Amino acid sequence: MSEVIATYVLSGKSGTFEKKAEGIALGLTVGSWTDLPQLEQEQLRKYKGRVVEINELESDTAEIRIAYPSGNYSNDIPAILTTVFGKLSLDGRVKLTDIEFSDDLKKAYPGPRFGIGGIREKVNVFDRPLLMSIFKGVIGRDLDYLQSQLRAQALGGVDLVKDDEILFDNELTPFEERIKAGTNILREVFEETGARTLYAVNLSGRTATLREKARRARELGADALLFNVFTYGLDVLQELREDEEISLPIMAHPSFSGASAASPQYGVSYSLWLGKFLRMTGADLSLFPSPYGSVALDKKQVLAIRDELVKPDEFNETFPVPSAGIHPGLVPQLIADFGHECVINAGGGVHGHPDGAAGGGKAFRQAIEAVLDGTTLVEAAFANKELDEALKLWGEGAAVSVKK
């Protein structure tokens, strides 16, 4: 069947969910049913929503699944969101936790252009998790300041550096100048060290200008784009991905995604938002809060995001990038939880190192190498000064956020 099946968790009294589910399945499709003449039922049958499943959960909630035939909507994210959660999003405690697309519908979505494999080729690293760092405190700073931060990060051996997502086009460090300066610095570092670092520049501004700006970024030699997709729209991300003249890796930032996904009872699930939809519409990397730091998602939620990004599928895989609160002492835990197919991403954990960002990057690389060698960090710290300093500063491990 050509359809999408939406899964919802909703509140209500036990025994009322069947009627509620039927009401949704009809209300969001053909409107009414039992009072229609036989002939009209025949005509409308293929447009009628269908209750697929009702699971009563614990106290006064149920998970219900409803199928929406593809004849009802155009196959794009805005139409599908309107169909399955347009009016319903306004109607009391109900959370949209998943949307399954039948294979024919799924084919219309591009998935990541590069994906994990393509990003690994660009940095020429295949045997370990990648390492990423973030510019810090760059608001109000000039190009020289950014350049020296970028250089320090790259010298530490990070594979990717991303713009701060709150750095927009501005007079001190305009978009094009950032790209040119970044490209120069990273070529210099490559010539010195032989290691390739990619810089993801923040693509921002009015919606209609984004594609032209992204094409220009490519002409200027940009490595990758950072994009605050949830302040624009998933369809805009998809259009950036589909544009052959852009053809740059896209790093999706979770900025503003919590507005729709943070509530346990309303909105959408993080796994749909930061997982399935980002992969379908074409993000090559998806950043999300790690379960270790202060901006903490529940570990189950985080692993559900990760699963959507890398599970076997027709799409390329999207690189999971657990972020926030990461320091070198967490690397064993990160690799245990996420495996090798992730990007370890740190801000303070790189810049806050006693030897600066270059030291921070090295400490992370040493920690990654130790884990891959089966050595403990404490052992590895004997021979690795930067890791030793990092462990002294931040310790090992962390409390993991697990919801009651």
Sequence ranges of the binding site for substrate:
136, 162-165, 253, 325, 347-348
375 binds, among Mg ion, its own copies, none (CB under 5 to 8 A by kind): none
Give 241 or 365: the residue with its C-beta nearer to its own copies.
Answer: 241
180, two tokens:
């040119």
Binding mask 151-190 for Mg ion (x = CB under 5 A): -------------x--------------------------
Residue type, position 300, single letter: K
Nearer to its own copies, 47 or 118 (CB): 47
Interface residues with its own copies (CB under 8 A) are: 28-32, 43-44, 46-47, 71-74, 76-79, 81-83, 85-92, 96, 136-137, 139-140, 165-166, 168-170, 204-208, 211, 228, 231-233, 235-236, 238-239, 253-260, 262-263, 265-268, 289, 294-295, 297
Between 24 and 391, CB nearer to Mg ion = 24
Q: Is 63 left (phi over 0), alpha (psi -120 to 50) or beta?
A: beta
Pick the closer one to Mg ion by CB: 164 or 176.
164
Place of tokens 């509620």: 20
Query: x/- binding map, residues 279-318, to Mg ion, per CB under 5 A?
Result: ----------------------------------------
Number of DSSP helices (H) and strands (E) in the chain, helices first: 18, 13
Give the CA angle between residues 106, 62, 84 to the nearest 5°: 35
Number of CB atoms found within 10 A of residue 121's CB: 11
Instruction: Annotate 303-363 with DSSP letters as a single string.
Output: HHHHHHHHSS-SSPPPEEEEESS--GGGHHHHHHHH-SSSEEEESHHHHTSTTHHHHHHHH
The listed partner (its own copies, Mg ion, none) that binds 208, CB under 5 to 8 Å by sort, is: its own copies
> Which positions are annotated as active-site residues?
87
Q: Give Cα separations from 215 to 176, 188, 222, 242 (angstroms).
A: 11, 24, 10, 12
CB of 162 to its own copies, least distance (A): 13
Q: Contacts with Mg ion: how many residues (CB under 5 A)?
A: 1
Enumerate the known binding-site residues for Mg(2+).
162, 164-165
User: Residue 239 — left, alpha, or beta (φ > 0 → left; ψ -120 to 50 → alpha)?
Assistant: alpha
| Main-chain dihedrals φ then ψ at residue 251, nearest 5 degrees | -105, 115
- Chain contacts with Mg ion (rule: CB under 5 A): 164
